[in-house]
């Protein structure tokens, strides 16, 4: 009997696990940089030839290389969402589906949390959903088929992406809503794998929850060194990272805890940002997706590349996800990146275990640190940063109790005044 096929999604759900298994196998077959480059080059060329021209925005464009295409961003896509997907789904249709079943026919609709004030939509097929699952299993839990796992996902939004894991007999995945009182249920679930924002992992450590997972992954927010140390000490193991967003899966930690770019499923352009040659913007082209086209899509993130990892994986490593480009402090065109500000505060007083640094005016910075920490030392450290940049700002440092806000992503360094690019 020939299975019914949908023009966008391919085989009906009974065959979806085949997509996951094939994606898993493809990732595990790549052992060298030459193999990684060859696979990416071949898939990218086919995607440019077959998938990209099928959406209205790129119709009529002959794209022999990515350089033929313009750079776009979230604002460009959301201004005419239907022009970037070949299912003809408009933003109105997408938001209506997201508020309801999160499906339009066989397609899945998801959305970002809207931390930046500009929420994004995504639409994927069932085949793409399971290819995503196979890829993340190959990178994060490569031996998942050897033992049963209970996977706890505590992220800002639930999507049908996560449910796909339950199609494997050895995986039991459960989503925990951060708006609920989840601690007791999480302990009762006794997860072997936990995926959560760093602030939630830290809360587990501070509350001494009775959890003994085999793997811990931070996601949805940048992982600061101070959170990493507290969480790693409590769980007795390195904290991995899963770097993904509405736009796709960008990087996953190896067993050594190093983030590796998903260069076998996505092409990365990493131009320098500002006057720091080590600081990179992220422009992605996701050749693993063909329902919604993400071609030369500029992210709002800044990263630093790292040295080759001892694990031997051929994909490039990421030393740090620095933060958001629009959270650079901007003093009349002079930019100070989030990592510089973060390091200045933490290094000023080793008792600082949490903080907030916010630009609230053209020449004003407001800082919050825990009670008992050295206010004067923090002010001096930030003044030294400003002096090196030849700028001046009023710095107001206060001591106050700080609690995690589960309704939004944690941004310890935030520009609430003006946002610009170099």
Domain harbouring 401, CATH code:
3.30.300.30
Highest mean pLDDT (candidates 168-182, 188-202, 238-252, 394-408): 188-202
pLDDT tens column, 303-354 = 999 988 998 899 999 998 988 888 999 998 899 999 999 999 999 998 998 9
From 49-63, 116-130, 341-355, the region with the lowest mean pLDDT: 116-130
pLDDT tens column, 132-169 = 888 888 888 888 778 888 889 887 765 666 666 656 67
Per-residue burial over 356-389, b if 16 or more Cβ lie within 10 Å, else e, is bbbbeeeeebbbbbeeebbeebbbebbeebbeee
Rounded to an integer, what distance in angstroms lies between the CA atom of residue 306 and that of residue 308? 7
Rounded to an integer, what distance in angstroms lies between the CA atom of residue 236 and that of residue 295? 40
Helix axes 198-206, 225-235, angle to 10 degrees: 50
pLDDT band at 65 (very low <50, low <70, confident <90, very high): confident
Q: What is the mean pLDDT of residues 108-125?
A: 76
**pLDDT of 164:** 62
- Distance in angstroms between the alpha carbons of the first and the last residue of the chain: 59
Q: What is the mean pLDDT of residues 225-235?
A: 91
pLDDT band at 9 (very low <50, low <70, confident <90, very high): very low
pLDDT band at 4 (very low <50, low <70, confident <90, very high): very low
Is 388 among the domain residues? Answer: yes
> What is the CB neighbour count within 10 angstroms for residue 399?
14
In this model, does residue 386 exceed pLDDT 60? yes
List beta partners, residue 196: 218
CA distances from 172 to 155, 200, 363 (A): 17, 21, 51
Is 267 among the domain residues? Answer: no
Residues of the chain with pLDDT > 70: what percent?
90
**pLDDT of 167:** 64
Rounded to an integer, what distance in angstroms lies between the CA atom of residue 404 and that of residue 134? 33
Q: What is the mean pLDDT of residues 55-75?
A: 86
Helix axes 338-348, 375-388, angle to 10 degrees: 140
Structure token pair of residue 52: 């990209």
Asked if residue 108 lies in contact with residue 246, where contact means CB atoms within 8 angstroms, the answer is no
Is 35 among the domain residues? Answer: no
Q: What is the CA radius of gyration of the chain?
A: 22
Looking at per-residue confidence, does 65 or 384 come out higher? 384
List beta partners, residue 241: 218
Rounded to an integer, what distance in angstroms lies between the CA atom of residue 79 and that of residue 155? 27
Is 290 among the domain residues? Answer: no
Chain mean pLDDT for the chain: 86
Asked if residue 375 lies in contact with residue 349, where contact means CB atoms within 8 angstroms, the answer is no
Is 391 among the domain residues? Answer: yes
> What is the CB neighbour count within 10 angstroms for residue 286?
21
Is 358 among the domain residues? Answer: yes
Per-residue burial over 313-334, b if 16 or more Cβ lie within 10 Å, else e, is bbbbbbebbbbbbbbbbbbeee
From 33-37, 214-218, 404-408, the region with the lowest mean pLDDT: 404-408
Rounded to an integer, what distance in angstroms lies between the CA atom of residue 77 and that of residue 327? 22
Rounded to an integer, what distance in angstroms lies between the CA atom of residue 249 and that of residue 269? 15
**pLDDT of 384:** 95
Q: What is the mean pLDDT of residues 199-217?
A: 93
Is 30 among the domain residues? Answer: no
What's the domain count of the chain? 1
Strand stretches in 262-307, DSSP E: 267-269, 272-273, 276-285, 297-305
**pLDDT of 96:** 92
Rounded to an integer, what distance in angstroms lies between the CA atom of residue 242 and that of residue 259? 8
**pLDDT of 10:** 43
Virtual CA dihedral for 267, 339, 350, 226, nearest 10 degrees?
-30
Rounded to an integer, what distance in angstroms lies between the CA atom of residue 44 and that of residue 159? 27
Q: Which of 155, 154, 172 is nearest to 163 (CA)?
A: 172
Virtual CA dihedral for 382, 383, 388, 391, nearest 10 degrees?
110
Virtual CA dihedral for 129, 283, 94, 90, nearest 10 degrees?
-120
pLDDT band at 6 (very low <50, low <70, confident <90, very high): very low
Domain that holds residue 404: 328-415
**pLDDT of 402:** 85
**pLDDT of 173:** 84
Rounded to an integer, what distance in angstroms lies between the CA atom of residue 183 and that of residue 188? 9
- Residue 352 CA to chain centroid, in angstroms? 26
In this model, does residue 34 exceed pLDDT 90? yes
**pLDDT of 7:** 42
pLDDT tens column, 160-191 = 666 666 566 777 888 888 878 899 999 999 99
- Residue 64 CA to chain centroid, in angstroms? 29
Is 68 among the domain residues? Answer: no
Q: What is the mean pLDDT of residues 358-369?
A: 95
In this model, does residue 275 exceed pLDDT 80? no
Highest mean pLDDT (candidates 114-118, 130-134, 273-277): 130-134
């Amino acid at each position: 009997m020939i299975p019914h096929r949908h023009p966008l999604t391919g085989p009906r759900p009974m065959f979806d696990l085949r997509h996951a298994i094939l994606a898993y196998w493809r990732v595990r077959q790549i052992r060298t940089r030459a193999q990684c480059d060859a696979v990416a080059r071949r898939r990218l060329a086919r995607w440019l030839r077959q998938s990209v021209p099928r959406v209205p925005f790129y119709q009529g464009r002959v794209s022999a290389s990515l350089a033929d295409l313009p750079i776009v961003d979230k604002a460009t896509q959301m201004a005419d969402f239907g022009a970037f997907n070949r299912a003809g789904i408009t933003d109105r249709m997408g938001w209506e589906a997201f508020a309801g079943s999160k499906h339009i026919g066989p397609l899945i609709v998801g959305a970002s949390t809207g931390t930046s004030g500009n929420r994004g939509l995504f639409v994927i097929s069932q085949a793409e959903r399971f290819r995503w699952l196979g890829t993340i299993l190959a990178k994060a839990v490569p031996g998942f088929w050897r033992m049963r796992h209970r996977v706890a996902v505590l992220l800002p939004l639930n999507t049908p992406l996560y449910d796909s894991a339950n199609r494997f007999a050895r995986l039991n995945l459960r989503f925990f809503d951060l708006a609920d009182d989840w601690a007791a249920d999480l302990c009762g679930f006794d997860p072997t794998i936990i995926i959560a924002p760093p602030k939630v992992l830290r809360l587990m450590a501070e509350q001494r929850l009775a959890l003994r997972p085999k793997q811990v992954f931070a996601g949805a927010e940048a992982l600061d060194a101070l959170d990493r140390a507290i969480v790693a000490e409590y769980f007795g193991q390195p904290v991995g990272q899963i770097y993904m967003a509405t736009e796709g899966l960008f990087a996953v930690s190896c067993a050594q805890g190093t983030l590796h770019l998903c260069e076998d499923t996505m092409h990365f352009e990493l131009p320098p940002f500002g006057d720091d040659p080590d600081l990179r913007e992220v422009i992605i082209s996701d050749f693993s997706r063909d329902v919604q086209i993400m071609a030369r899509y500029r992210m709002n993130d800044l990263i630093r590349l790292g040295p080759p990892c001892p694990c031997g994986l051929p994909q490039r490593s990421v030393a740090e996800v620095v933060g958001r480009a629009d959270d650079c402090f901007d003093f009349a065109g002079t930019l100070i990146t989030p990592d510089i500000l973060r390091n200045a505060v933490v290094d000023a007083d080793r008792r600082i275990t949490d903080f907030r640094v916010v630009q609230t005016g053209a020449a004003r910075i407001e800082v919050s640190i825990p009670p008992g920490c050295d206010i004067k030392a923090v002010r001096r450290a930030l003044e030294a940063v400003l002096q090196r940049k030849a700028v001046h700002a009023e710095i107001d440092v206060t001591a106050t109790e700080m609690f995690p806000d589960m309704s939004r992503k944690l941004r310890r360094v935030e520009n609430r005044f003006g946002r610009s690019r170099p």
